[in-house]
Structure 1
């Protein structure tokens, strides 16, 4: 069994992604015949860019309706160590192979160190994903050989040791990467942004998950929060970046995501990913209402133009056609307003209410019509990977957690983001929004009021960029997934206009019996509150759209267990030293 285990693990550790093979010589690649010069290092490093990909939605999270995917399966007890996937190490093997051999190349020392820094950056990102998923994991800094039985069968290293190693890799990257002219290339500023991002994550994770028995850590949260501030400040003081205002308050935010801005020349981009028609495309055309809508919770997060929050009493009764009035312009640049038309189309887009129930997402929907709309992965707009706005949010949040936030800090961060869209400034000691307070339990900092608004700003500014789930996990908000999300508000059953043209688009019926004899052309019937309907209205004949599949509960989010995932049982069978933790045994 032991020999079989070694062979199986080696298969995982030595696996390599086939799509990269065409970039290398077809003969055997060895440290002797390949890693001989800087060009070899450059060629090998191409694969590191394939490991960094953007996101264009927030699934799963409280920003979306209905579809909860793996989280829903988790809470219903359907995820076990016997059926879970993951635990792949092929990417790490490729990275460590490079790090074991890059110093053999001949060339300028600074060039060799630059490419080495790319390997350290890639390894840090790999392990960040592993820590977020499993917490304690084995740390491998070199490629394993068949005779490395002790390493092959080692147990988990502590989270403390792995996190320290991640930060060491990122520190190396900040010191050895360069200030690249091209924003599609890894640079020292990308490394600083990743360091700030991870240190904020780890500092807040340790703070809000303190006391978990299997969280094997010793350093205090403040250590990481201070490092997050330092890394973010390095970027802020560099003078290399600024918040983009191209297009003015009504377009500048959206232009970062819909192809309206040249990201190569945009001052906010620290790094972005290039796409090209018919060659390298993505699937952002699916965000509008492919599987889920955007939740009421997300829509209610947007402030009024003067910087004040919308009272809950207003959001309880505001229909779709009115909710965008006098709101933060990022709302109408992110969510579909009535009357929205797809590029190249003439009639307003009609949301699939029966499927998603919520608001439509237009953030990341292409602005131009030279995009194929029929099919999957057909969009070629460039997408941000690291942008200056996130750095400002990291700085402000870490300072508030450290209880050192000043008005000057707010003016250099949050208020720059609000200035972009013309929203009123945030000041120290703001009034507390009771809804926001209830959504964010467990805050202990003396600057709680400011932190709540910084979290709101983060949710709004980084909406659909893939941060929300991780934020919920680090803030220990997993139980939010137990609550059914709501969609748009419907004043009453009957004919409903959602495209804003004054003509009915849907007939929402109680049970089908009150359907008029002659429905206008193009009107879709939705049954509410009947046995055959997937949806219902929260108040019976009015209210926010909700879904029957969630009516009887969504399951239980077991804390702390569900903040982590188990190692597949097949791996534990091969290596019993990989003990399950956080109750997954």
Structure 2
């Protein structure tokens, strides 16, 4: 980890974005470095490609493309404000908005000139594989956001007006080019398993291909209005990449720790049995993120899981919680009893204690709007200060690949119980949950999920719904939900009223099951009895039916809107179209 970070810091100091020269004291101005003077040693190749990691991989906080490794919003995690994607108030920006190509130029520069040093391809190809991995990664994210985008295969010089004013290329051409890049990376990247989980390898490239192809295959399948061909081709490529990683990569699902799902994310070092790539942080280099502070203070929106999501967690015996009589009006200590253990390893449930502490803590409504207070990624109290967390944040892990394989095969109609036994079984077995039975799921699709995912049809409807359940639970807070809803064409789910815990009305409530009341929802004058967390109805907390109780409702006075005709893609900034009239705007954006 330190080696990677030091390389990155050096890359900034040396300004290698336009190329490297072996003799630092004889360095020419970067604008004048000739390609023939660059990449004359393996060290220069390594140093240049190392710069891609920090600049192009997602980080802890949202960037202008909405990437984040824990700061997820949408309908998994609810906050006290809504992003514009949910309110229908998105407008066409003048600039920015994710339409940023600067980092791509650095990658293409390397692809174009990496052989100018005359090194043997046995040396250069493994670094070219890294560059093509990052170009594929860049374009996958751009296509997911904008649809058709210009494909650039060579560095554009300032005087090349034709290339600077290039129109958008069809999505089909771009994604075929992405496949070619990622296939090259798979064939040429290092096959050595990276125990530090901070370098691109063949296995990381396979994981990226699995992710890309599942997205593109399902997007094309469900967005029939776009008439995009070859949906099955991409799903089949997802299957191939996933199966190769599973059979040859040597990765497993981690069962380390008393609470293995929680501990995978709270560990100060990436578990290389499951983690293929993580963004690293360091106390020695003073590089931190903010996840502890994010979950325990009101400063970051008071995040909490949404009610329908909590309802989707199965019972510990594998039966459906939403099949239980009276599930909708169960109070917290009852609704969290005997559920999938991942629920208690993702939020505070009765009996919760912080890592390194024996003090039992109930959900703090001062830090969560829904009452379902997040604990995923949260480490010990010593890291609670502002920007003091330094556990690695996972970008690619084995569990995602397992879920990708199961979903791709289900969508293709080729899924067998034996496939579930090597995918879903493993993610559930980590926490002692029963396996998914494909025949039973298809014979009796869950009506609660079917009411949400209305586009799922066919003989595999039941098992597809169950795979979506598993994916949402296993990958929550890892920045997948938006893309999942977009590719499934389920944006209308974002219009639903977001809710939290159920309370029958004002009164005192025990949230940790210790027979002692913890919070007091009151009306009128605030009580003076000590020992409670007070919440004034209508001010600190809103219930669906006011004094008659109901679920907590969040942002109740804000109307949410998702426009099915245009909101599955983002708009092209107006300033870019002024600069390049050959760019066309996405449909129905005005």
Q: TM-score, normalised by structure 2?
A: 0.87
CA contact (8 A) 1:38 1:106 kept: no
What is the Cα deviation at residue 220 of structure 1?
2.0
Query: Aligned partners of 1:503, 1:194: CA distance in 2, in Å?
Result: 49
CA contact (8 A) 2:111 2:132 kept: yes
Confirm or deny that 1:536 pairs with 2:543: yes
Secondary structure at the residue paired with 1:128? helix
Confirm or deny that 1:487 pairs with 2:500: yes
The aligned residue for residue 390 of structure 2 is 380
Confirm or deny that 1:41 pairs with 2:45: yes
Query: Aligned partners of 1:379, 1:287: CA distance in 2, in Å?
Result: 10
Query: Aligned partners of 2:341, 2:53: CA distance in 1, in Å?
Result: 33
Alpha carbons of structure 1 residues 445 and 177: separation in structure 2 relative to 1, 3 Å: farther
Confirm or deny that 1:554 pairs with 2:559: yes
Alpha carbons of structure 1 residues 354 and 364: separation in structure 2 relative to 1, 3 Å: closer
Query: Aligned partners of 1:578, 1:358: CA distance in 2, in Å?
Result: 46
Which structure 1 residue ranges, 5 or more long, are not aligned?
1-16
Which structure 2 residue ranges, 5 or more long, are not aligned?
1-7, 17-23, 60-67
CA contact (8 A) 1:282 1:378 kept: yes
Confirm or deny that 1:273 pairs with 2:283: no
1:408-427 superposed matches below 5 A: 408-427=418-437
Confirm or deny that 1:454 pairs with 2:460: no
What is the Cα deviation at residue 383 of structure 1?
2.6
2:478 to 458, 465, 469: 465
1:53 to 33, 58, 63: 58
Q: 1:155-184 CA deviation, whole Å, 9 max, x = no partner?
A: 111111111111111011001101134232
Deviation larger for 324-333 or 190-199: 324-333
CA contact (8 A) 2:577 2:583 kept: yes
CA contact (8 A) 1:56 1:364 kept: no
Alpha carbons of structure 1 residues 117 and 238: separation in structure 2 relative to 1, 3 Å: same
Query: Aligned partners of 1:52, 1:363: CA distance in 2, in Å?
Result: 21
Alpha carbons of structure 1 residues 221 and 106: separation in structure 2 relative to 1, 3 Å: same
Secondary structure at the residue paired with 1:164? helix
1:140-289 superposed matches below 5 A: 140-182=152-194, 183-212=197-226, 217=228, 219-247=229-257, 250-259=258-267, 262-264=269-271, 266-277=272-283, 279-288=286-295
What is the Cα deviation at residue 339 of structure 1?
4.1
What is the Cα deviation at residue 395 of structure 1?
0.4
The aligned residue for residue 305 of structure 1 is 316
RMSD over equivalenced CA pairs, Å: 2.4
1:527 to 519, 536, 541: 536
Secondary structure at the residue paired with 1:487? strand
Secondary structure at the residue paired with 1:439? coil
Query: Aligned partners of 1:472, 1:58: CA distance in 2, in Å?
Result: 17
CA contact (8 A) 2:99 2:572 kept: yes
CA contact (8 A) 2:165 2:580 kept: yes
What is the Cα deviation at residue 297 of structure 1?
1.5
Secondary structure at the residue paired with 1:561? coil
Query: Aligned partners of 1:197, 1:89: CA distance in 2, in Å?
Result: 22
What is the Cα deviation at residue 63 of structure 1?
0.9
What is the Cα deviation at residue 239 of structure 1?
5.0
2:412 to 378, 382, 402: 402
CA contact (8 A) 1:507 1:523 kept: yes
What is the Cα deviation at residue 347 of structure 1?
6.1
Alpha carbons of structure 1 residues 78 and 206: separation in structure 2 relative to 1, 3 Å: closer
Alpha carbons of structure 1 residues 116 and 382: separation in structure 2 relative to 1, 3 Å: same
Alpha carbons of structure 1 residues 397 and 58: separation in structure 2 relative to 1, 3 Å: farther
What is the Cα deviation at residue 296 of structure 1?
1.0
Deviation larger for 54-63 or 489-498: 54-63
